Amino acid sequence: EVQLVESGGGLVQPGGSLRLSCAASGFAFSTYWMHWVRQAPGKGLVWVSRINSDGSSTTYTDSVKGRFTISRDNAKNTLYLQMNSLRAEDTAVYYCTVGLGDYWGQGTLVTVSS
């Protein structure tokens, strides 16, 4: 059974940092592209970032470029999102997803507020 379990969310002040993790199991993690998608409270889905199977290629949506870094550890079957210089508009549930949205985690809530 495919499982994606996100962690690392919480309350952080504007300008602060958080690192999200996504532990994957039940599939060949090292062979799949992985993604982060976020959903602000009561709003729709927004693709944030993606990383290829070996971590050599990453892409970001414009609003997070230069502030967020996606990475992965294939030995640990874990995906990461390092989020720096956080803003109020980054407040959202962050989901990790595999492939073309084949499977999703339960999400982790990031709240940026003073």
Partner 1 sequence: DVVMTQSPLSLPVTLGQPASISCRSSQSLVYSDGNTYLNWFQQRPGQSPRRLIYKVSNRDSGVPDRFSGSGSGTDFTLKISRVEAEDVGVYYCMQGTHWPWTFGQGTKVEIK
**Tokens standing for residue 77:** 């079957």
CB of 100 to partner 1, least distance (A): 5
CB 20 within 8 A of CB 110: yes
- Name the residue nearer to partner 1 (CB basis): 55 or 107: 107
Our measurement of the distance from residue 54's CA atom to the centroid of its chain's CA atoms, rounded to an integer in Å, reads 17
- Name the residue nearer to partner 1 (CB basis): 46 or 84: 46
- Name the residue nearer to partner 1 (CB basis): 5 or 16: 5
CB of 114 to partner 1, least distance (A): 28
What 3-state class would DSSP assign to 112?
A: strand
CB of 61 to partner 1, least distance (A): 5
CB 110 within 8 A of CB 48: no
What 3-state class would DSSP assign to 59?
A: strand
Q: Which residues contribute to the site for partner 1 (CB under 8 A)? A: 37, 44-47, 50, 59, 61-62, 95, 97, 100-107
